[in-house]
Structure 1
Amino acid sequence: MTTSTTAPRTRLPRTDLEILPLNLGGNTFGWTSDRETSFAVLDAFLAAGGTFIDTADVYAAWAEGSEGGDSETVLGEWLTARGNRDHVVLATKVGAKPSHQGLAADTVDAALDESLARLRTDHVDLYYFHYDDEDVAIAEQVRIADGLVRSGRVRHIGLSNYSVERMREWFEVATREGLTVPVAIQPHYNLLARAGFEQGYAAIAREYEVAVLPYFALASGLLTGKYRTAADLEGRARKGMVQDLLTEDALTVIDALVEIADSRGTAPATIALAWLLAKGVTAPIASASTPEQLPALLEATALELTADEAAALDRASAPFA
């Protein structure tokens, strides 16, 4: 059973959305977690004080027999069964589902309506443009996003998987034209993937007061410490995502995580997420396939690394910076 956390709440900048500083990833729902297990994870997350849930219309199109929409469907069934939509901060994404790829206006409009139907709600709190579409000018993307907000179906906009240059243009155009400015970015950022965010996207986040909600916060599970050799990956659903990351440099980082975790009496995943929070991340995204995996994630929201611990992790992960 997951117990309630005493971590302080944080607010997504320029919004009234208050959250625990952990964003529960919904990519496992309808994939590695069946409906019953997904419900159990979601119930435990809310019971512990969590509210912020992240999904996408494309989840889990990579699984055999799926065209996407699985995670949103499970979430919609859970929200309806529990009657708790008003207690959840809900984020989903557009642009990558096989049947609705790209960011043309008609595509986005249809995809949003289908997401709302699966989620069984009339609005999402945060709607990401999941991947840039270079066939659609940034100025047009800004206008499309602003129209979604004005329609009432979307409260706030976020961006993910844009180049630094195109993302900056997005913020510049929206600000200059007085249209909806994104309140969040979702970069790839963790101890094994530092350079892209720290050398590029971080400046945008600071300049425009944007929430930073990184995906792959645990490097597809590698930073939990449970994968130390190629043999550990055999038969695992995430093998394809993790096997190329399992390098000597990565093992150095994992060793540092395990050492600090052992000294604290906690899990490596907790320390990896606490490092992101120490770096100023608003709420890292992490998923749990079972309720038993949640406590290690939640504990990070109330654990503060010492300066020496943070520095040790910085040194271990320097090859990735």
Structure 2
Amino acid sequence: MLRRRVGGPSGPVVSTLCLGALPFGTTVDEKTSFAILDRFVEAGGNLVDTADNYAFWAPGGTGDESESTIGRWLASRRRYDEVAISTKVGARPTIPGSGLETAEGLSAPVIRKAAEASLRRLGTDHIDVYWTHIEDRSVPLEESLGALEDLVGGGKARVLGCSNHATWRTERARATARANGWTGYTCVQQRYSYLQPRFDVGLPESGHVHVTAELLDYVRSEPDLTLMAYSSLLSGAYTRPDKSLPTAYDHPGTRQRLTALREVAAELGATANQVVLAWLLGGDPPVIPIVGVSSVEQLNEVLGAVELELPGELRARLDLAAQG
């Protein structure tokens, strides 16, 4: 699998596809989770994304499950030096059974405690990419960024990223870090796919922030910034008849994009999922998609996107439909 450096010139070199581990240990059992991780690494993948709250909303879930499952896999396979771990802080509920309204937030004590808990569950001594999962405007940026700097200085985090942040907050956080001589955010993670939602309707998933044209321009202008995308395959809605698109995608532009996508997939002999991933991987700026799967068979399909050549004429056709 192709690889690229993330988070600037000193960041880790990782696979161009990232494996999303959100369901591991809850809706995907441990045996299947281990098999998916084994296949991903066998195929050359080495970047795995999780969070300290996955998946608290699943029946019986607490938020420990995904990190703990990855930790047990790392221990059983002894892959500590071969796999880069990406995890997050800030969105874990502080009251069991509640949602983001009681999220842990980004105060310095929370960041320090959460990082230690993630390291313990993962069974490792450092986190390769550590993200602030959601914004916390109740805490001064200096406090949050100072705590993150302490983690980097102590060798517990290597690269920092922000997820579900407004572009202006990302820029301000980076400026604040520069002014203080601290490590800044060099990765951004937002919801992004080929289909685009209506921003006047909103997405049903609480806390999700979609990539905007402004963010794309910002990432293009900042050479050290890496863009990663979650929900790239819209939970199977591109290919599975039992999966419907959220209401936010119900607009004329979606029909134009889907028509172009299906035509391009047919011409290439590929699946719609593979074309979407190839479109993201080769975009401007290039994107690292985070792909969530629940079986090895699903993973094998998305792995096909890495080798898929998307000729310029077909990319232009997809882009033109996206602009219509």
State the TM-score bracket (shorter-chain normalisation): 0.7 to 0.9
Looking at structure 2, the residues matched to 276 and 166 of structure 1 have their Cα atoms a distance apart, in angstroms, of: 24
* Equivalent residue for 1:29, pick from 6, 10, 24: 24
CA–CA distance in 2 between the matches of 1:150 and 1:103?
A: 18
Answer yes or no: is 1:10 the counterpart of 2:7: no
- Cα displacement (A) at 1:81: 0.6
Task: Give the number of equivalent residue pairs.
Answer: 301
Structure 2 counterpart of 1:174: 177
TM-score by length of structure 2 reads 0.87
Counterpart position of 2:240: 226
1:203 deviates by 3.0
Structure 1 counterpart of 2:106, which letter?
L
Q: Give every structure 1 segment of 4 or more consecutive aligned residues whose post-TM-superposition deviation is greater than 6 Å.
A: none
CA-CA distance at 1:251 after TM superposition: 4.2
CA contact (8 A) 2:174 2:185 kept: yes
Alpha-carbon distance between aligned partners in 1 of 2:63 and 2:52, rounded to the nearest angstrom = 6
- The alpha carbon displacement at 1:253 in A equals 2.5
Distance 1:31 1:317, change over 3 A: farther
Residue correspondence of structure 1 range 189-268 to structure 2 within 5 A = 189-193=192-196, 197-208=211-222, 209-223=224-238, 225-227=239-241, 232-233=242-243, 242-245=245-248, 247=250, 249=252, 250-268=254-272
TM-score, reference length from structure 1? 0.88
Counterparts of 1:252 and 1:226, CA distance in 2: 19
SS at structure 1 position matched to 2:192:
coil
CA distance in structure 2 between the partners assigned to 1:243 and 1:112 by the alignment: 33
Kindly indicate whether the alpha-carbon contact (under 8 Å) linking 1:96 and 1:130 is maintained by their aligned counterparts in 2.
yes
Alignment of 1:275 onto 2:269: no
Give the superposition deviation at 1:207: 3.2
Give unpaired runs (5+ residues) of structure 2.
95-102, 200-209
In the TM superposition, 1:1-321 aligns within 5 A as 7-12=1-6, 13-99=8-94, 101-193=104-196, 197-208=211-222, 209-223=224-238, 225-227=239-241, 232-233=242-243, 242-245=245-248, 247=250, 249=252, 250-279=254-283, 280-318=285-323
Contact 1:14 1:183 in 2 (8 A): no
Cα distance between partner residues in 2 of 1:89 and 1:203: 27
**CA RMSD of the aligned region, Å?**
1.9
- Local SS of the residue matching 2:230: coil
The letter of the residue matching 1:206 is: R
Aligned-partner Cα distance in 1 for 2:12–2:289: 16
Question: Residues 232-275 of structure 1: CA distance to partner in whole angstroms, max 9, x if unpaired?
Answer: 23xxxxx7xx4425635434433322221222122111100111
Q: Is the contact made by 2:111 and 2:144 (CA closer than 8 Å) also made in structure 1?
A: no
Structure 1 unmatched runs, 5+: 1-6, 234-238
Higher relative contact order (CA 8 A, sep 6+): 1
Bigger fraction of residues in helix: 1
Secondary structure of 1:53's counterpart equals strand
Counterpart contact for 2:24–2:65, Cα < 8 Å: yes
The whole-number CA distance in structure 2 between the counterparts of 1:246 and 1:282 is 21
Q: Distance in 1 between matches of 2:221 and 2:140?
A: 23
Could you tell me whether the CA contact under 8 Å between 2:27 and 2:58 is conserved in 1?
Answer: no
Among all aligned residue pairs of Structure 1 and Structure 2, give the percentage whose two residues are the same amino acid.
Answer: 35
What is the aligned partner in structure 2 of residue 4 from structure 1? none
| 1:57 CA displacement | 0.7
The amino acid across from 2:38 in the alignment is D
The alpha-carbon deviation at position 184 of structure 1 amounts to 0.7
